[in-house]
Structure 1
C-alpha cells in the first residue's frame, strides 16, 4: 500500500519516526513535507496530502501536527476527502469502517509514538464496511459535489 504523509514543524520528528516505522512494515511512503523543523503553514501541507490522495497518487494519507485538528480541518477542504483525527483505537477503526476516512490525523503533542504506531496499524488494517454507513458516506459525497458545483 502506498501512503502519503505530511506534518508541520510541531510534528516533524514524530512524522519521521512514524515514516520509519511504516517503511519497516512494508509500506511505500511519499513525504509531502515539512522536511525540517522550521515553521510552516500546516494548511498547505494538509491540502498537498489531501489533493494527492484525492487524485489517486496514493491509497491513503497520514497527517500530523500538534493536535491533529488543524490538519484535519484543512484536509477536509479538499472535495472527496474524509480526514479524521484519531487518538484512540476505537476511533481509528471506526474512521475507516464507518466513515471510509482516507486520511488519518494525529497530534504529536497529544499522544505518544507507540500509540501512534498502534493507531496507524489499526487504521491501515481496517476497511470500509458499507452497510448502514454507506448512505451516510454517500451523503457526505453529495455535499462535496454540491459545494464543488457552487464554486
Structure 2
C-alpha cells in the first residue's frame, strides 16, 4: 500500500516511528510532514496528504497535530476525504468499519507513540463493512 503522511511540529517523533513501522511492513510512504519541532502551520502539511488520497496517489493518509482536530478539519475540506480523529485502536477500527475513513488523524499531545503505531496498524488492517453503513457514508458528501 501507498500511504501519505503529514504532521506539524507536534508530531515529528510520531511520524518517524510510524514511517519506520510502515516501511518495515512493506508500505510505501509519501512524507509531507515537518521533521522539526519548530512551529509550523498544520494546513501546509494536511492539504498535500488529502490531495494524495483524493487524487489516488495514496491509498490512505495519516495526519498528526497536537490535538488532531485542526489537521482533521483541514483534510476533511477535500471532496472524498473522510478523516477520523482517533485516540484508541478501537476507534480506529470503527472509523474504517463504519465510516470508510481514508485518513486517520492522530492527536500527538494525547496519545503515546506506541498507541499511535497501534492505531495506524489497526486502521490499515480493518476493512469497511459496507452494508447498512454504505448509505450513511454516501450521505457524507455535499456534492
Q: TM-score category by the smaller chain?
A: over 0.9
Q: CA deviation at 1:138?
A: 0.5
Q: CA deviation at 1:37?
A: 2.6
Q: CA deviation at 1:35?
A: 3.4
Q: Counterpart in 1 of 2:99? A: 99
Structure 2 residues without counterparts, runs of 5 or longer = none
Aligned alpha-carbon RMSD (Å): 1.0
Asked if 1:134 corresponds to 2:121, the answer is: no
Asked if 1:38 corresponds to 2:38, the answer is: yes
Report how many aligned residue pairs link the two structures.
Answer: 143
Structure 1 residues without counterparts, runs of 5 or longer = 146-151
Are 2:51 and 2:78, in contact at CA under 8 Å, matched by a contact in 1?
A: yes
Q: CA deviation at 1:119?
A: 0.7
> Which structure carries more helix by proportion?
1
What's the TM-score once normalised by structure 2's chain length?
A: 0.96
Q: Counterpart in 2 of 1:87? A: 87
What's the TM-score once normalised by structure 1's chain length?
A: 0.91
- In our comparison, the structure showing a higher alpha carbon Rg is 1
Q: CA deviation at 1:14?
A: 1.4
